[in-house]
């Protein structure tokens, strides 16, 4: 993909795309998130540490925090790119306020991630959120993600072949 096509798809909200393009690029972003999450699943256990047991500047702890920052930045960039990509598809379907609809999945994903991540980062505190709230947020995310995938990747727009 050349720089001009990349800029059109991921760095601006204007324009329209078809179902096939949205499905292909949304799936590639989901795959990228999956690949970036795999190291985090191992490193997240090193975020919380006991200074009585571990030294203050242990390499694995530094690496875990460094990756957490890079992972968070990457997720924000991918979320913004997903919003721009989805706004194009909502616009092609004739929806009003396409960027608002396109921001639903990243918004719910980030809120769900905050609920899921907070107990890990603050494990020494009282429980952050009850289990039902975390499961409810995850169910809401899955619902919004499935609806968006259906609406933008499967369902045809009027006049679309």
**Residue 16 DSSP one-character state:** -
- Average confidence (pLDDT) over 124-131: 62
Please check the confidence at residue 122 and state whether its pLDDT lies above 70.
no
The percent of residues above 70 in pLDDT, for the chain, comes to 90
State residue 9's pLDDT score: 79
Alpha carbon distances (Å) from 1 to 7, 25, 36, 74, 77: 10, 11, 21, 20, 18
pTM for the structure as a whole: 0.85
Instruction: Count CA atoms closer than 13 A to 54's CA, side-chain side.
Output: 12
Which is more confident, 108 or 40?
108
**Residue 66 DSSP one-character state:** H
Distance CA 133, CA 102 (A): 24
- Average confidence (pLDDT) over 75-96: 93
What sign does the CA torsion over 99, 18, 29, 14 have?
A: negative
- Average confidence (pLDDT) over 74-84: 94
CA angle 27, 28, 30 (to 5 degrees): 60
Query: Average pLDDT over the chain, rounded to whole?
Result: 86
Terminus-to-terminus CA distance in the chain, angstroms?
25
């Amino acid at each position: 993909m050349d720089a001009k096509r990349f800029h059109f798809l991921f760095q601006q909200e204007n324009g329209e795309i078809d179902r096939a393009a949205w499905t292909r690029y949304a799936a590639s972003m989901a795959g990228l998130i999956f690949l970036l999450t795999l190291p985090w699943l191992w490193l997240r256990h090193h975020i919380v540490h006991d200074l009585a047991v571990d030294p203050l500047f242990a390499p694995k702890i530094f690496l875990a925090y460094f990756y957490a920052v890079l992972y968070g930045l990457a997720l924000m960039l991918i979320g913004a790119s997903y919003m721009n990509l989805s706004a194009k598809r909502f616009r092609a379907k004739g929806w009003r306020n396409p960027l608002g609809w396109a921001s639903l999945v990243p918004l719910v994903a980030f809120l769900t991630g905050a609920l899921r991540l907070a107990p890990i980062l603050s494990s020494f505190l009282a429980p952050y959120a009850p289990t039902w709230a975390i499961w409810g947020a995850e169910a809401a995310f899955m619902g919004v993600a499935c609806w968006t995938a259906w609406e933008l990747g499967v369902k045809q727009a009027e006049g679309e072949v």
